[in-house]
Structure 1
Amino acid sequence: MRGRTSPPEGTGYGHVHYYEGTTSYDDGHVHHYRGWTGPPIPLPNGNHYHEFSGQTTYDDGHIHYYRGGTSEAFG
């Protein structure tokens, strides 16, 4: 999956990010996805990450479900 996120919407530990992107072209087609991350999840070092999940667009007769976490954000 390849995509991008928006700047934070909201402030501090109440912010979220909009994200969107496409899947790889491994089987002759792509899927698109988009959504909002969950709120920040604090890490012991003072940084944070976000969880996200959803489903892709319907292409080539099917969809995919996904879930994961962002990389560590600082501050």
Structure 2
Amino acid sequence: MHTHNFYGGTSYDDGHMHLYQGTTTPSPEGPSHTHHIYVRTTTEQMHDHLMDVETGPPIPIQWGHVHYFSGTTSINGAHPHSHRFGNVTNPSK
């Protein structure tokens, strides 16, 4: 079993963006495994957003592998809105 750390920033919408960071759920090694990401963004303008997404399959790199993930956050805020996000995880640990 292994996990990946991840971090990044959302798209800039409704006059602001949010940052995020966390660790994926554990998964066994294998050619087609994925991980789940479930994390809240930073609080900006008195609200945050939930990110709930499954990564793609492993992408081999020189020192292990990473996973691509992307999606849309929950809809929150005084003016209800969402943000887009996309990134790759750090190599497995």
Q: TM-score, normalization: structure 1?
A: 0.85
Residue equivalent to 2:47: 29
Letter paired with 2:40: T
Residue of structure 1 aligned with 2:31, choices 13, 35, 47: 13
| Structure 1 residue 13 displacement after superposition | 1.6
Letter paired with 1:2: Q
Matches within 5 A, 1:47-62: 47-60=64-77, 61-62=80-81
1:5-42: per-residue Cα shift (whole Å, max 9, x none)?
Answer: 11116x51210001100110122100001110000000
Identity of aligned residues (%): 33
1:15-72: per-residue Cα shift (whole Å, max 9, x none)?
Answer: 0001100110122100001110000000134x00000000000001100000000001
Long gaps (5+) in structure 1: none
Letter paired with 2:41: T
Query: Is this contact kept in 2: 1:3–1:22, CA < 8 A?
Result: no
RMSD of aligned Cα (Å): 1.5
Report the count of equivalent residues.
72
Long gaps (5+) in structure 2: 1-19
CA distance in 1: counterparts of 2:30 and 2:90, whole angstroms? 17
Q: TM-score, normalization: structure 2?
A: 0.70
Higher normalized contact order (CA 8 Å, seq sep 6+, divided by chain length): 2
SS of equivalent to 1:73? coil
